[in-house]
Amino acid sequence: MSFEKSAYILDQEKRAAEHNASMAKMEAAVRATQALTPAELPPEWMMNTIGSHAAAHFKNTACWTFTELVRRGRLSSASRVVDIGSGCGRMALPFSYLIEDGEYYGTDVFREGVDWCTQNISPRNPAFKFCFQDVAKNYYFKDAAGEGNKMGLPFVKDSSIDFVFAISVFTHLIEYDAVQYLREIARVLDKDGIAYLTTFNIDRFFFEYVRNTGKHVAVREVSPGHYQAYAGQDFFGGYTPERWRKLVEDAGMEIIGYDPGAWANKPGSLHFQDVSLIAKK
């Protein structure tokens, strides 16, 4: 029996073709990243600084997170992306094999990491630009006491970005600096763009985890809904769900999705830190 395909079936076919093309490029980028030799990677001390104890961990984490971001953001070779906390290029490396006609901006307070990316990634892919955040109080490496910084993305135009992500950045910021970045994210996102931000969500699961394990007993509320502990690279900044939602909304955005993190043994977790998907209102 012959029949005409419905609009629904035709739309399914179109979406499937687009998805398959995107997945093929994503998988090619993963293969290229996994094939990188030690000479093509940052030096070991840089990888240690951003939390990878070995090259295999660096590449595996890069590829796993990259595929997550591509799927969440529906990213393509033409996507315009901002990487807050670009470090020494753990995420920029796989993205450099995907983005061709788009733009990729990486920024960090880690000068040596920014320099490595500028020297090793940008020449191979001119779509990639990296900017050092010359902050007065770099409390990722020093004590967090005192006033905050003016964090920004001045090198990015208004409403020009499809996707912003920050992996383990807001977990290392005091609230003042987090607010600066949230406002900048709202400024640069396109009306249909989204942000993927990881945080430490101070919820009932966190308090149960502390009671059951005795870990993170040093975490204290330093202002309404904002919690801190530790120092240097171990500095911890977290928020209650209510406080985090207010910060996001005050910046002109809204939380459209949330995933719990494994850091406090939260049920259903896929990632180590909590994840918020954020869009402009």
> What integer pLDDT is reported at residue 151 of this predicted model?
81
51 occurs within a structural domain:
yes
Question: How many residues are recorded in the chain?
Answer: 281
160 occurs within a structural domain:
yes
> What integer pLDDT is reported at residue 152 of this predicted model?
87
96 occurs within a structural domain:
yes
Cβ atoms of 151 and 177 closer than 8 Å = yes
Q: Which domain holds residue 46?
A: 7-280
> What integer pLDDT is reported at residue 142 of this predicted model?
60
> What integer pLDDT is reported at residue 135 of this predicted model?
77
> What integer pLDDT is reported at residue 140 of this predicted model?
57
Strands (E) across 149-252 are located at 161-166, 189-199, 220-223, 226-229, 236-239
> What integer pLDDT is reported at residue 21 of this predicted model?
72
- Ranges in the chain, pLDDT < 50: none
Place of tokens 């996507």: 79
- What is the dihedral sign for C-alpha 262, 263, 265, 266? negative
2 occurs within a structural domain:
no
1 occurs within a structural domain:
no
> What integer pLDDT is reported at residue 7 of this predicted model?
77
Partnered with residue 237 across adjacent β-strands are 228
> What integer pLDDT is reported at residue 164 of this predicted model?
98
223 occurs within a structural domain:
yes
Number of structural domains the chain divides into: 1
35 occurs within a structural domain:
yes
Q: CATH number for the domain including 94?
A: 3.40.50.150
118 occurs within a structural domain:
yes
| Core vs surface per residue 196-209: b (16+ CB within 10 A) or e | bbbbbbbbebbeeb
> What integer pLDDT is reported at residue 136 of this predicted model?
67
